[in-house]
């Protein structure tokens, strides 16, 4: 995420800037670049404490600091939905929020999805050890004994992906629909997925997959 102030700093430089002034400005920029703030949050069920810059986006915290690269990064302008994650159960485009806004909140990424399960109230809870602990101890990728979350399995059943770039964000958005009062019909689902773009599939398989996943997660049919 760019710092809108940085251009202003650049424009303030002129040939008349004396060396002491330039040095002070440089020191100010260096101090700003090193400015880090403490942040505590939960990521995939694990308590995390890190230091981040004020302009660090959530997607950069996830991908670059925590190594959770399942959250993809596309447009970086809140248009494509590739970066969608769950924050306290709601779908959020992680390129469009600052990491520091996550203080005290619970973030779930595609890597942690398999460790969530629906309660009878359709809320989600961590049901296993966190994915971060699993990755640290086993070095294995995000699935647990090849088990998939119900929505991931639905995407697989319907072949609802081709290149897969949109898929993690699409699945996270789909999971967030469990608690939203959206009827399970193709038009309503397509509308609800409007913020997540797919260049490959034509959406029909995705819509069918989300309908299947929602029926199971809302306990309307057996898995
Ligand atoms: S990368 Fe966040 S919406 Fe496109
Ligand atoms: S499967 Fe390629 S962008 Fe959706």
pLDDT tens figures, 77-135: 999 999 999 999 999 999 999 999 999 999 999 999 887 754 434 344 444 444 455 54
Q: Is residue 125 part of a domain?
A: yes
Minimal-distance CA residue to ligand 2 atom 2 = 163
Indicate the number of domains in the chain.
1
* Least-confidence region, from 6-10, 70-74, 149-153, 170-174: 6-10
- Would you say the CB of residue 97 lies under 6 angstroms from ligand 1? no
pLDDT at residue 32, rounded to an integer: 46
- Would you say the CB of residue 95 lies under 6 angstroms from ligand 1? yes
Q: Is residue 129 part of a domain?
A: yes
Q: Is residue 196 part of a domain?
A: yes
Q: Is residue 133 part of a domain?
A: yes
Q: Is residue 15 part of a domain?
A: no
In which band, very low, low, confident or very high, does the pLDDT at 184 lie, cut at 50, 70 and 90? very high
Q: Which residues line ligand 2 (CB under 6 A)?
A: 161-167, 198-201
Nearest atom in ligand 2 to the alpha carbon of residue 200 is 2
Q: Is residue 27 part of a domain?
A: no
* CATH number of the domain residue 152 falls in: 3.10.20.30
Q: Is residue 23 part of a domain?
A: no
- Would you say the CB of residue 82 lies under 6 angstroms from ligand 1? yes
CA distance 70 to 114: 13
Query: pLDDT at residue 154 above 50?
Result: yes
Task: Tell me what the pLDDT averaged over the chain comes to.
Answer: 79
79 Cα to the center of ligand 1, angstroms: 6
204 Cα to the center of ligand 2, angstroms: 12
| Range of the structural domain that residue 204 is part of | 38-217
Q: Is residue 18 part of a domain?
A: no
Structure token digits, residue 117: 């399960």
pLDDT at residue 218, rounded to an integer: 87
- Would you say the CB of residue 78 lies under 6 angstroms from ligand 1? yes
Q: Pick from 75, 99, 172 the residue to mutate for probing ligand 1's pocket: most ligand atoms within 8 Å of its CB.
A: 75
């Amino acid at each position: 995420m760019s710092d809108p102030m940085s251009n202003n700093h650049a424009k303030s430089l002129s040939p008349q800037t004396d060396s002491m002034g330039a040095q002070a400005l440089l020191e100010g920029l260096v101090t700003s670049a090193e400015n880090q703030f403490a942040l505590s949050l939960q990521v995939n069920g694990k308590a995390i404490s890190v230091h981040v810059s004020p302009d660090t986006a959530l997607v950069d915290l996830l991908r670059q600091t925590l190594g959770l690269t399942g959250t993809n990064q596309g447009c970086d302008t809140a248009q494509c939905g590739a970066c969608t994650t769950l924050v306290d159960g709601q779908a959020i485009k992680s390129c469009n929020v600052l990491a520091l806004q996550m203080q005290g909140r619970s973030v779930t990424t595609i890597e942690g999805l398999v460790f969530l399960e629906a309660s009878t109230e359709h809320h989600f809870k961590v049901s296993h050890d966190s994915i971060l602990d699993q990755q640290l101890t086993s070095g294995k990728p995000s699935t647990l004994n090849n088990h998939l979350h119900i929505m991931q399995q639905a995407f697989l059943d319907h072949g609802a992906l081709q290149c897969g770039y949109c898929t993690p964000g699409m699945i996270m958005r789909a999971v967030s629909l469990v608690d939203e009062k959206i009827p399970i019909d193709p038009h309503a689902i397509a509308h609800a997925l409007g913020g997540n773009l797919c260049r490959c599939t034509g959406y029909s398989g995705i819509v069918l997959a989300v309908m299947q996943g929602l029926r199971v997660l809302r306990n309307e049919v057996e898995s």
